[in-house]
Amino acid sequence: MKNRVIKVDYLARVEGEGALHVRIRDREVADVKLRIFEPPRLFEAFLRGRRFSEAPDITARICGICPVAYQMSSCHAMEDAFGVTVGGPLRELRRLLYCGEWIESHALHIYLLHAPDFLGYEDAIQMAKKHGPAVQRGLQLKKIGNDIVTLLGGREIHPINVRVGGFYRVPTKKELRPLVEPLKWARDAAAETVKLTAGLKFPDFEQDYEFVALRHPDEYPFNEGRLVSNKGLDIAIREFENYIAEQHVAHSNALHAIIKARGNYHVGPLARYSLNFDKLTPAAKAAARKAGLGPVCRNPFQSIIVRAVETLYACEEALRIIEAYEMPDQPAVPVEPRTSIGYGCTEAPRGILYHRYRLDPAGQILDARIVPPTAQNQKTIESDLRSFIPKRLSLPQDKLTWQCEQAIRNYDPCISCATHFLKLHIERE
């Protein structure tokens, strides 16, 4: 069998609709195409003419898995446009909300979407028959993440309480207290998750990535910082489009992002961790070291451990914020629209999410640009598969196909976001 086609027509356990098409000729990978057939929804187009204040609720609808990320990036972009800084307890509450989304999203991916690949199950429900306590632990962790988002945001999907400048209503100190005991349980459960994931079998697959993530002088990044890479990128958020270009290719409804002159790059937990290891809490660092990770991790399959480490971090950070919280006098900082361009970039669970808006004097959006994390990882996913497949060509078709799917799921791809992405198709000619 010299020539083969590997195809997955509808990639499962990812968010959204996509396919993979791989063509193999003379034991060489001739072509890899990650096809995103998620229908285009044209958000940037219909944001035109809407008011600045509507952007957080409208852009949240790009993704039901990470609406908080869209709300945060849009708020920061608008505040940048109006020259407003949100500090103190309001800034802390935003970090707390993001902790909730990271815990919920990471627990979903680790236990329900990715672990079944490592353990050889089609899904978490089948996995639950043999690994009941682990799946229960994952669901409980996820629930605690969702509980944070629900308390602060009103509901876990498309929260209603985020606005440009802050919130509509801020919680009292007493309202946050019931989160403390569950979060202490979650912190231990996250530490158990690091141990569990560290015990999985990983293929030997280190890649020389250009990692791109936010970096902040004082903290592990959520909402603010400079955009840095391990290959020399160090820019302010507003310089994003000077260094990163989006390409439109025929096979995908998602635009591909590249660093101009260098090519593809990698965003998400691996990038964040490798560029910000020093900013993790002592317990998160210790758990990572015990799991066998160094301060840099280049094996995308081990992203499942890194997600667990980040979950542990998020639980500790949430506890820190709740302990120190004092209710602010005002739920939001007042904003005054002006003719301007605003830039925002925050760390969604899957990596950096960039927003840019141009506004008229009344705060009406003239144009908008949104670059989601999965669009940025698309080319890196394709490049991973090009390196991954050649050594595994002797595998039977169904095994090879499943392993390719797993390699894609390393990125927790969110296709709903990127179209604004999976089917697997491996062709051996």
Partner 1 sequence: MAATRKPKLAVWKFASCDGCQLSLLDCEDALLAVAGAVEIANFPEASRAVVKGPYDVSLVEGSITTPHDAERIHQVRRASTVLITIGACATAGGIQALRNFKNIKELVPMVYATPAYIETLNKSTPIADHVFVDFELRGCPISKVQLVETLCALLNGRKPNTPTYSVCLECKRRGTVCVMVAHGTSCLGPVTQAGCGALCPAYQRGCYGCFGPKETPNTTALSVAWDRLGARDGDIMRAFRSFNAYAEPFRRESEAHEK
Residues interacting with partner 1, by CB under 8 A? 10-17, 37-46, 48, 50-51, 54, 57-58, 61-65, 67, 108, 112-113, 122-126, 128, 135-136, 139-140, 142-143, 146, 154-158, 160-161, 163, 168-169, 247-250, 253, 255, 331, 367, 402, 405, 414, 416, 420
* Structural element, H or E, at residue 93: helix 88-107
Q: Which is nearer to partner 1, 67 or 351 (CB)?
A: 67
Q: Which is nearer to partner 1, 57 or 310 (CB)?
A: 57
Q: Which of 368, 380, 379, 348 is nearest to 256 (CA)?
A: 379
Q: Which is nearer to partner 1, 136 or 242 (CB)?
A: 136
Structure-block tokens of residue 137: 């632990």
Q: Which of 17, 7, 89, 126 is nearest to 417 (CA)?
A: 17
CB of 75 to partner 1, least distance (A): 15
The whole-angstrom distance between residue 106's C-alpha and the CA centroid of its chain comes to 9
Q: Which of 421, 425, 377, 419 is nearest to 404 (CA)?
A: 425
CB of 247 to partner 1, least distance (A): 8
Angstrom CA distances, 383 to 85, 168, 386, stand at: 39, 44, 5
Structure-block tokens of residue 361: 């004097």
Q: Which is nearer to partner 1, 295 or 331 (CB)?
A: 331
Q: What is the Cα–Cα distance from 227 to 235, expressed in whole angstroms?
A: 5
Q: Which is nearer to partner 1, 247 or 387 (CB)?
A: 247
Give the contacts of 120 (CB within 8 A, at least 6 positions apart).
none
CB of 178 to partner 1, least distance (A): 16
Residue 417 backbone phi and psi in degrees, to 5: -65, -50
Q: Which is nearer to partner 1, 62 or 287 (CB)?
A: 62
Angstrom CA distances, 266 to 22, 189, 349, stand at: 21, 28, 13
Q: Which is nearer to partner 1, 157 or 283 (CB)?
A: 157
Q: What is the Cα–Cα distance from 315 to 311, expressed in whole angstroms?
A: 6
Q: Which is nearer to partner 1, 43 or 205 (CB)?
A: 43
CB of 63 to partner 1, least distance (A): 5
CB of 268 to partner 1, least distance (A): 18
CB of 414 to partner 1, least distance (A): 8
- On whether the CB atoms of residues 229 and 241 are closer than 8 A, the answer is no
CB of 162 to partner 1, least distance (A): 10
CB of 129 to partner 1, least distance (A): 10
Question: What DSSP string runs through 28-80?
Answer: EEEEEEEEE-SPP--HHHHTTTSBGGGHHHHHHTT-SSSHHHHHHHHHHHHHH
Q: Which is nearer to partner 1, 160 or 236 (CB)?
A: 160
Structure-block tokens of residue 44: 């940037």
Q: Which is nearer to partner 1, 19 or 345 (CB)?
A: 19
Neighbouring C-beta atoms of residue 46, cutoff 10 Å:
12
CB of 49 to partner 1, least distance (A): 8
CB of 240 to partner 1, least distance (A): 17
Q: What is the Cα–Cα distance from 216 to 33, expressed in whole angstroms?
A: 35
Q: Which of 135, 185, 147, 164 is nearest to 316 (CA)?
A: 185
| Residues making up the chain, counted from first to last | 429
CB of 246 to partner 1, least distance (A): 8
Q: What is the DSSP letter of 335?
A: -
Torsion of CA 258, 307, 106, 110, to 10 degrees: 110
Q: Which is nearer to partner 1, 23 or 256 (CB)?
A: 256
